Homo-oligomer: A and B are copies of this chain.
Amino acid sequence: MGREMVNVGCVKEEIDTPALLVDLPAMEANLTRMASFFQDKKAKLRPHAKTHKCSIIAQKQLDLGAIGITCAKLGEAEVLVEAGISDILIANQIVGSPKIARLTDLAQEANLMVAVDNPENVRALSQAASGNGVVLRVLVEVDIGMGRCGVSPGQATRNLAEQASRSPGLSFAGLMGYEGHLVFVPSLEERTRRCQEAMALLLETRDLIERSGLPVSVVSGGGTGTYAITGALSGITEVQAGSYLFMDGRYRGIEGLDDFDIALTLLTTVISRPNEKRAIIDAGMKAVTHEFGLPTVKGRAGAKLIALAEEHGIIQFEEPDNQLKVGDKIELIPSHGCTTINLHDFYYATRHSLLEAIWPIAGRGAFH
């Protein structure tokens, strides 16, 4: 395909489109900024690979001090382990015998933690792990207000923690709670208050469990929108931020995140100029997502993406435009990196407008 026709060292406009561009200086600054925050914190960073799905980037995060990597899916973890990454939290429930067999196989090669929220699942994991001669570390997921997976805080969590701690093949490592419903609260003051309240549920549950004599060594939570709040709380040991390295368009206007730069764009080509107020580009919903709002046009005042079809984007100009020609390139800023990246097989990593590297997105589609 197109990627074979481009060489490292070319200018970015020569990359065939649609192509996902990484602005390396911006990404490196984001990675360093986040790593610096955690340097003097008790909590450590375990970046979420669901965003980048790329072992090359995960290794950069580890090199900068991250204590391990977080994944959303077993398939993503398999990709990372294959690339030599060995300390992974799968922040999700692994259900069903085919997946549990893969999980215990993977645990032979890597130091895994996995989330649990259900007694039968704990039994199934225990049986498979002990049968396979491995010890799986488990975190009990606590629902701290998002209303997705997780056990209720308090006694219900303690019960599952105790079950896990008694289960052969399992080691109860701690708790996980994700304040995903709060990461986009625009006001820093409100976000801080609500995030602290949510995390208090997790930390009180930890205290309850520890009072019964069971040590809770890991307390994991946090996302890009809350890393500085959750990551500063006493008792939190790990933070799972993911989006910070590219910084989605959606985070614009979310107070407290201005120091991160947008490092991900989609390079597109104008394929039609039906009239002076419109340009059609060669990227649509199959190359960029829009559940967090339409992508925006980078660096062209008055140009607005107004619609995405499957393979087309429609750009409208405030004033008639006679400059932009068929064949010219347009960069879009995705509103949601995680899902947009999942549509692509390669990153085109650029520095000062030159293509420096092409990185495979090996975890693309690894939702199994």
Identify the A interface with B (CB < 8 A): 1-3, 5-6, 14, 16-18, 50, 72-73, 75, 78, 92-93, 95-96, 98-99, 101-102, 117-118, 120-121, 124, 143, 147-151, 180, 269-274, 278, 280, 282-283, 285-287, 289-291, 309-312, 314, 325-327, 338-339, 342-345, 364-368
- B280 & A291 in contact (Cβ 8 Å cutoff): no
* Nearest CB of chain B from residue A139's CB, rounded to whole Å: 14
Q: Is the CB of B98 within 8 A of A5?
A: yes
Give the residue of B6, B96, B368 whose beta carbon is less than 8 angstroms from that of A1.
B368
Partner of A17 from B278, B344, B368 at Cβ < 8 Å:
B368
Q: Which of B102, B326, B368 contacts A118 (CB 8 A)?
A: B326
Find A282's partner among B95, B311, B314 (CB 8 Å cutoff). Answer: B95
Q: 8 closest Cβ contacts across the A-B interface?
A: A2-B368, A149-B272, A93-B271, A95-B271, A72-B311, A16-B98, A5-B98, A1-B368
Q: Which residue of B lies closest to A275 (CB)?
A: B152
Cβ B368 vs Cβ A344 within 8 A? no
Minimal beta-carbon separation of A368 from chain B (angstroms):
4
Q: Are B365 and A98 in contact (CB under 8 A)?
A: no
Q: Are B98 and A6 in contact (CB under 8 A)?
A: yes
27 contacts between A and B (CB under 8 A): A1-B366, A2-B75, A2-B102, A3-B368, A16-B99, A18-B367, A92-B282, A95-B270, A95-B271, A96-B269, A118-B273, A120-B325, A120-B326, A148-B272, A148-B274, A148-B312, A149-B272, A149-B280, A149-B312, A282-B367, A285-B289, A286-B365, A287-B367, A310-B339, A342-B343, A343-B343, A343-B367
**A280-B2 in contact (CB<8A):** no
Given contacts A18-B368, A272-B93, contact A311 B73 (CB under 8 A): yes
> Who on chain B is nearest to A150 by CB?
B274
Q: Of all chain B residues, which has the CB nearest A180?
A: B309
Nearest to A51 among chain B residues (CB) is B310
